[in-house]
Amino acid sequence: DGGITQSPKYLFRKEGQNVTLSCEQNLNHDAMYWYRQDPGQGLRLIYYSQIVNDFQKGDIAEGYSVSREKKESFPLTVTSAQKNPTAFYLCASGQGYNEQFFGPGTRLTVL
Amino acid sequence: GENVEQHPSTLSVQEGDSAVIKCTYSDSASNYFPWYKQELGKRPQLIIDIRSNVGEKKDQRIAVTLNKTAKHFSLHITETQPEDSAVYFCAARINTGNQFYFGTGTSLTVIP
């Protein structure tokens, strides 16, 4: 279970506020991912990065932004443009044509 | 892009019985198919995976089968136990990229 961490575990946001979710990995993986999980909808890809300083939009990128300045870190910002941000957010990392390893998740709630 | 469908969305079995979860995919270029187990409030964890050059893989009570022609793969859990209760996700990965496509999940309940 170790190797990829997310913080905070719980996060509360007021409407109109930007918040940033942290994701760090020490697995030396090139690729990192952000998913959103809602009940009954599985995992939906927000953004992914295959290498430092490069990232691509996933299926639901609107209202989110990312950066990949270091190999170990892939923070996700949930902006005020995301109208329904309450969800469970999962970060993952992977290398080559192998499995993804998931972080413990951040539960974001809008007040 | 790839489209992965997963059935059933919920499944209840008696302890000791078998459980089968099925997934279909659309892109014939997909070549890696992992299965994840997610317990309530926790991260998904890999339980078994299969690559497109293999038709079946077993690990104790868990097995996965792949039919490339029909573009479907299945998870089989035998002798189910209450601790098998969780949500299971299938996924597919196309050989040309790093993106995974997930099914919508199956909530498995094993009744003691």
pLDDT tens-digit series, residues A8-31: 999 998 888 999 999 999 999 999
Which residue is closest to A30 within chain B, CA to CA? B98
Tokens of B97: 């990229």
pLDDT tens-digit series, residues A54-74: 999 998 999 999 999 999 999
- State residue A16's pLDDT score: 86
The answer to whether A90 contacts B46, with C-beta atoms less than 8 Å apart, is: no
- State residue B54's pLDDT score: 85
Return phi, psi of residue B77, to 5°.
-120, 120
For residue A35, CA distances in Å to B45, B75, B76, B95, B108 come to: 14, 23, 26, 20, 22
What length does chain A have?
A: 111
Neighbours of A99 (CB within 10 A): 17
Q: Cβ of A103 under 8 Å from any chain B Cβ?
A: yes
Query: Strands B100-102 and B4-7: what pairing?
Result: unpaired
- State residue A1's pLDDT score: 47
- State residue B13's pLDDT score: 98
Provide the shortest C-alpha distance from residue A40 to chain B (in Å): 7
Contacts of B49 in chain A (CB under 8 A): 99
pLDDT grade for A2, boundaries at 50, 70 and 90: low
Among B4, B68, B79, smallest CA distance to B35 is for: B4
Query: Is residue B27 a contact partner of residue B92, using CB atoms and an 8 Å limit?
Result: yes
Q: Does A99 or B105 have the greater pLDDT score?
A: B105
Low pLDDT (below 70) residues in chain B: none
Tokens of B71: 């573009």
- State residue B63's pLDDT score: 98
